[in-house]
Structure 1
């Protein structure tokens, strides 16, 4: 569905530019920002490789396992339908830890894998299960300790203090994560009450 939305926006933009006589500016913007996008991606690769390397060292040293063990009791309460040793729980833990370090590129594949496993637990029904909705809320709000990607972008564009955003990011993502989980639980209990009285 999202592909159709993007294509629709692109086509509407091009048609509007053609009608209003702004095609030259559109062509200029396409080439300018395509080049800038590639340059930015190469700049981000170095930062992401560094932090992924740090995560690998932490994994070998056993720090990630300790962090995962710390989060496991909380995640078991958030995902009561998921058996403790099910692959979905491992992917959820990996996704959460990658998000903690601001590694969205590393977190996304883990989130997709977790969602696939949760869909299997849901017997491939077309409607999302409680755990699938909770994972989406948790992943979207994503509590972040170190916003690696944002720091990399700030460094790329010459910020004098690229790490100044760490404190505000922690406060903002803590607030959004708490809000997302409260809203998730509110609507879950509301659905349960509706089903009870049907």
Structure 2
């Protein structure tokens, strides 16, 4: 009887284990980012590549988006072409980075361009600012007001009136998760002011 009881208990435990829900795969909290290099004639590119994500499709999507930014500047006519990157936020399932491209084609100085990329590490989705700080319900007005206040405080002479961020502004997430909106050279102010960056006073998620 004892042997039979043990057998029944064992079968019952196996059945319960089989019926128990399988734990969901752990979502990646942070990404592993490695540096890729491209040296070809005038090109001196260092750009990021994400490796080791549990979802290969998400990883491929992220790296493809990075590759498109590289391709955007790789074939432009220039005497000097450089690319560098900086990881701005890497945690809580989000990766945000900037890629900076410098092109010199003669003249007094070259031109620098910055691109911001923010990704969901679980899906590979690339976020726009409105995905993280919805424009509805006065969100966009708050962003515009925050930038206008910083322009006034920093006393930056504008080439044109600041009329707002537009539908898809350049941005990245800072280490604390807050969005930073930025504007390209000459977009708001003279070359000497560089790429203007404006941290927003609220979290982006």
Structure with the largest fraction of strand: 2
TM over 0.5: no
- TM (norm. structure 2) is 0.30
Structure with the greater alpha carbon radius of gyration: 2
- Structure with bigger RCO (C-alpha 8 Å, 6+ apart): 1
Structure with the largest fraction of helix: 1
